[in-house]
Structure 1
Amino acid sequence: MSMLIDPERITYARELKGFSKKDLAQKVDKTPSAISQIEKSIIRPDTETLMRISLALSVPPSFFAKKEGRRYINLGQCHFRSKRSVSQAKRKQSVRIGDFFIEFVDFLQQQGIVFPEEKLSGFQSFQPKSMEDIEIVAAELRRSWGMSLGPIPNVTRLLESKGIIVTPIYNSCTEVDAFSVWAGKRPWVMLALGKTASRARFDAAHELGHLVLHEEHTPGCSLTENEADRFAGAFLAPRDSFILECPRRWDYEAFEKLKLRWKMSIQALVYRAYNLGVLSQHSLRKAFISISQSGQRKDEGTEWAKEQPTLFNQALELICDKVSLNEIASSLCVSKADLIGYLNDAISEDLLARLDKKGEDQNGQLVFLRES
């Protein structure tokens, strides 16, 4: 095989599948050490081995071709909002899904799609020295974006309108709640959508906090996580307006009404009230005891419709008469089945079906009328 192989693409494809080196080695009848040497470019895989790797990872051999200008998300720069028990393999897989969407955005731009201008980079240089500083920057960002002091109707749509690409995390990576990163000169937020509407909104605002506050910080420390939580609360419920509506003591019915108005969980609202000095430590403790005893720590009941990313759906609607799923999969060098899995939460079922049907229509038409 004369094609020049990029070993990084083998690593990328393996991590995209969620495989360890041992997993891949077993599937291609090699040792984990051999896979490691191939990925480090110490040894070059022969044609048979490359074909086996291709089949095991469900990508064509062309996926591994060397190409100038490719860029990959640096795992070490990603701010993850996830359980500590989440495996490194799952984190890597979720990041590779992000890499896939970067290539997908490149594909869409090649088709003529223009995405919203990024309007966040002006806030990257902010270095908070206190929680009060975070309150200030959250309020300043809202002002910069022309927002009122009221509740945000749709956080996901807001981020997308400001040039932040919001993508769903693939179903097999749902242990990862969310993560964010600057990649390809754009801010990205990846969200697991299989959770409550209030949690997903807070996660999105939390990741926005990381993008604003922590470009130069080491991800994963408790301080940056606490700062991102404080930013999320301040961004979703601005102090100047929220404090006027907030009860001065724990009252479940009062906070439940605030939940539906501000579209935040009762627990997030209670913490917000405590951080603003409206609720005391005693009231905070009383609130969480009450919530725990009612069995609502993980599920508070009544919620609103979940927010969904819309950029990819809008983009594909504009070109759905020009491309099919098969053509997109071929261009991105992935299988159609994997492509459907990645896009499943990013576009509507109807659009997915139309893109798929277009491919079937093309495959079925063998005879055409010559133009006069």
Structure 2
Amino acid sequence: MVAVFNPQRLVLGRKRRKLTARALASAVGLSPITISRLENGANEPEDETIQALSRALDFPQSFFFAEEVDELPAEAASFRSLSSMTAKERDAALSAGVIAYLFHDWIAERFNLPDTDVPHVRDATPEATAQIVRANWGLGQQPISNMIKLLESKGVRVFSLCEDTKNVDAFSCWRNEQPFAFLNTFKSTERSRFDAAHELGHLVMHKHGAPQDSRQAESEADRFASAFLMPADDVVSRIRYVSNLESLIQGKKRWGVSVAALNYRLHKLGVVSDWQNRSLNVEMSSRGYRRQEPEGLDPETSALWPQVFATLWRERITRDHIANELHVPTSELDGILFQLTARTKSESEKKGRLRAI
């Protein structure tokens, strides 16, 4: 069967590289109108054009002739931050999500992955919703040791956002009945854990549509994350008053959150007064704790993906092999799995192995 050029793949590759049609046209020596016609399927590219597109976008030529892919429209994703994000940054992150879809589907054909167990809660406050999710998952009031592993165990497919910008924090989405979360793993572990809980809030509360005011949706997800990571009863029973910033730094270790997040939670719970809250925030800023978390945690890693790769390696299947089958550069797989697979092979094997289909 003769391979047919897929215009959708050209759009995907261009957005992944944060290029406008005009910028791509300049890079390959074509007119913007020609690029537009290629993306609309009105023109069939010559071999020389395919080669030029492949070089400019750093995707193999086979990428442009592969099958249609599920798109990830902006309205389907709940972004952690929208105000400072450019359209190029948003589209590049969404395109990374589409590549994650391709990888996930390739893996799902070969392995039994955890079933989805993410409840949908409506008409409850974010704080009450956090309690409902904890109860459904049998977590009680105990701290959560690893957010990534918890989400994976409940069927959320967690991927990394290895973007070269600080404006893309995280986002999540439902694809049919499968939840996905994309986290910025360059951040401190404490902030990444909060992002993971924030995205869980979106998945639980906003599957059937977030409020039209995106700021309200983000506020709800923040409140959910704060209550989910720091259950009120546990926090109040252990911290009855705050004498200084050092006591917060010691206290935050129990819940694996940033010192700022714990201060915020204690303020909302009435343990920290308005005056203390302002004073502590000023001191945190002066010490640089907004940029560098004091006594930071080690990065969290995936339990799922190391097991998958350990099993594949026994069959001599590498990331390069998978990338070749998906018609993408290996660097794209490295990006969506960055830091998540940091555990060594021997450690992942100790945790048990997934059963291949």
In the superposition, the TM-score normalised over structure 2's length comes to 0.88
CA contact (8 A) 2:130 2:224 kept: yes
Tell me what 2:123 maps to.
127
Alignment-derived partner of residue 349 in structure 2 = none
Distance 1:53 1:349 in 2: 36
Deviation, structure 1 residue 283: 2.2
Query: After superposition, where does 1:279-298 map in structure 2 within 5 Å?
Result: 279-298=272-291
168, 171, 191: which one pairs with 1:179?
Answer: 171
SS in 2 for 1:76: helix
SS at match of 2:180: strand
Question: Counterpart of 2:87?
Answer: 88
Alignment partner for residue 190 of structure 1, among 179, 182, 185? Answer: 182
The answer on whether the counterparts of 1:79 and 1:220 sit within 8 Å (CA) in structure 2 is no
- Check if 1:316 corresponds to 2:309: yes
The 3 A distance-change label for structure 1 pair 326 and 284 is: closer
**Superposition map of 1:1-372 within 5 A:** 2-65=2-65, 67=67, 70-82=69-81, 84-110=83-109, 112-120=110-118, 122-123=119-120, 125-128=121-124, 133-215=125-207, 216-217=209-210, 221-249=214-242, 251-322=244-315, 323-348=317-342
SS in 1 for 2:210: coil
How far the C-alpha of 1:27 sits from its partner, in A, is: 1.8
Task: Show structure 1 runs of 5+ residues with no match.
Answer: 352-372
Q: 2:353 — aligned with what?
A: none
CA distance in 2, matches of 1:185, 1:219: 22
Q: Secondary structure at the match of 1:264?
A: coil
Q: Report if the CA contact (8 A) 2:162-2:185 is conserved.
A: no
What is the one-letter code of the residue matched to 2:197? A
Whole-angstrom distance in 1 between the partners of 2:150 and 2:240: 28
Query: In 2 relative to 1, CA 331–290 (structure 1 residues): closer, same or farther, beyond 3 Å?
Result: same
Higher relative contact order (CA 8 A, sep 6+): 2
Distance in 1 (alpha carbons) for counterparts of 2:145 and 2:343: 24
Is there any run of 5+ residues in structure 2 with no aligned partner, and where? 346-357
The one-letter code matched in structure 2 to 1:31 is S
Query: Structure 1-normalised TM-score?
Result: 0.85
Letter in 2 for 1:138: A
* 1:15 to partner: Cα distance: 1.5
CA distance in 2, matches of 1:310, 1:219: 36
Distance 1:66 1:329 in 2: 13
- Please give the alpha-carbon distance, in whole angstroms, between the structure 2 residues aligned to 1:251 and 1:310: 37
Kindly provide the amino acid, as one letter, of the partner of residue 317 in structure 1: A
Structure 1 residues 98 and 173: CA distance shift in structure 2, 3 A: farther
Q: Are residues 144 and 312 of structure 1, via their aligned partners in 2, closer, same or farther at CA, if it must alter by over 3 Å?
A: same
Which residue is equivalent to 1:370? none
Deviation at 1:86, TM superposition (A): 2.5
Identity over aligned pairs, percent: 32
Deviation at 1:349, TM superposition (A): 8.1
| 1:256–1:39 CA distance, 2 compared to 1 (3 A) | same
Q: Give the C-alpha shift of residue 56 in structure 1.
A: 2.0
Residues 270 and 231 (structure 1 numbering): CA distance in 2 closer, same or farther, change over 3 Å? same
What number of residue pairs does the alignment pair up? 343
Instruction: Report the Cα distance in structure 2 between the residues aligned to 1:31 and 1:54, rounded to whole angstroms.
Output: 17
What is the DSSP-based 3-state SS (H/G/I as helix, E as strand, rest coil) of the residue aligned with 1:320?
A: helix
Aligned residue identity for 1:96: S
CA drift at 1:220: 7.1
CA contact (8 A) 2:264 2:277 kept: yes
The answer to whether the 8 A contact 1:265-1:300 is kept is: yes
Secondary structure of 1:82's aligned partner? coil
**8 Å Cα contact 1:167-1:346 kept in structure 2:** yes
Rg bigger for which structure? 1
Farther off after superposition, 50-59 or 153-162 = 50-59
Which stretch shows the higher mean deviation, 249-258 or 11-20? 249-258
The Cα offsets for residues 297-346 of structure 1, whole Å up to 9 and x where unpaired, read as 32232112111223222111111122133321220001344444444434
